[in-house]
Amino acid sequence: MVAVLAVMLSGCVRYDVGIHFDSQTHGEIVQHVNLSKRFANLSSVTVQEWLDSLDRRARSLRGYTTRQGAREAVVVIPFNNGEELVSKFNKFFNPIDNRAVAPEMAGEIPQLATHLAIEQRNFVFAIYNHLSLDVDLQALGVLSTEGNVLVSPGGLLDLAFRLDTPWGVSIDPELTGLSLPRETSETSSVWTLEPGAVQHIETSFWVPSPIGIGAAVILAVVSMGWYLKHQLLPKLGIGRS
């Protein structure tokens, strides 16, 4: 399962967040940060501190950061199940509550109050997932080290949440107060989020269960071996002493 959160501040900052949920037992949260030269020059100290804070927060969650020049970074945070995904996602995107954030940066990081929740049900061969995401964009803005707002929420921000899954997603039409996807395909859906507002996304999807599939294969092999030994081979006269 792949889910992507992309932030574009009028071409100044591109911040893509993807949730790669491959199966029941493996996945990664991947963040790709790309800053324009124009934006980086506005406050190089703040930009560097922000990128460093991403690295500290990723390492605190057993992830890592790869720098691609002074204005680009890729953050990867692995997870092993839905519960771990929720825990790491919420800790990373609520850095005020994360001890890995440097104290001097606490006043400069906007409190977006992002909250992800997933309810899962095991149907042996596949896992049913009900995903809920609340994003508070009211305080979104980029601050300089002097406390001046460099980018305000209104007019300059194009924010989207993208969810890619092996078998697509489903939206309950009876639920109200939801942000509906602006576009959908067989395996992905994209939501547009409005700056300066609180928004709620809710959807469901399935991912394969390698544990269930593996158990079924083992059971099938054992059953076939039993049948060959106790049913088929005696009828063919094989194995008699």
Task: Please check whether residues 105 and 129 belong to one and the same domain.
Answer: yes
Which of the four pLDDT bands, split at 50, 70 and 90, describes residue 4?
very low
Which residue range forms the structural domain that includes residue 217?
Answer: 211-241
| Residue that wins the pLDDT comparison between 238 and 205 | 205
Task: Please check whether residues 132 and 20 belong to one and the same domain.
Answer: yes
Task: Please check whether residues 218 and 136 belong to one and the same domain.
Answer: no
Which of helix, strand or coil describes residue 134?
strand
Task: Please check whether residues 159 and 115 belong to one and the same domain.
Answer: yes
Reference 20, options 33, 4, 41; nearest CA is: 4
In the chain, where does DSSP find H-type helix?
Answer: 37-42, 44-60, 82-92, 210-227, 233-235
Do residues 79 and 107 lie in contact, with contact meaning Cβ atoms separated by under 8 Å?
no
Please, is 154 exposed, middle or buried when counting C-beta atoms within 10 Å of its C-beta (0-12, 13-18, 19+)?
A: exposed
Question: Number of structural domains, the chain?
Answer: 2
Instruction: Give tens-digit pLDDT for 91-135.
Output: 998 865 444 444 444 444 455 678 999 999 988 888 999 999 898
Task: Please check whether residues 25 and 81 belong to one and the same domain.
Answer: yes
Task: Please check whether residues 184 and 65 belong to one and the same domain.
Answer: yes
The reported pLDDT for the residue numbered 38 is: 67
Task: Please check whether residues 232 and 114 belong to one and the same domain.
Answer: no
The reported pLDDT for the residue numbered 62 is: 94
Asked whether the predicted pLDDT for residue 7 surpasses 50, the reply is no
Asked whether the predicted pLDDT for residue 146 surpasses 70, the reply is no
Please, is 79 exposed, middle or buried when counting C-beta atoms within 10 Å of its C-beta (0-12, 13-18, 19+)?
A: buried
Asked whether the predicted pLDDT for residue 235 surpasses 70, the reply is no
Task: Please check whether residues 122 and 236 belong to one and the same domain.
Answer: no
The pTM of this model reads: 0.73
What CA–CA distance (Å, rounded) separates 87 from 6?
A: 20
The reported pLDDT for the residue numbered 50 is: 80
Task: Please check whether residues 191 and 116 belong to one and the same domain.
Answer: yes
Give the mean pLDDT of the chain: 74
Instruction: Give tens-digit pLDDT for 22-46.
Output: 777 788 888 878 877 766 666 677 7
Amino acid identity of 159?
Answer: L
3-state secondary structure 169-208: EECCCCCCCCCCCCEECCCEEEEEECCCCEEEEEEEEEEE
Instruction: Give tens-digit pLDDT for 157-173.
Output: 567 787 888 888 888 76
Task: Please check whether residues 147 and 170 belong to one and the same domain.
Answer: yes
Reference 203, options 1, 28, 29, 6; nearest CA is: 1
Task: Please check whether residues 104 and 184 belong to one and the same domain.
Answer: yes
Task: Please check whether residues 221 and 140 belong to one and the same domain.
Answer: no
Matching residue, tokens 């809920």:
132
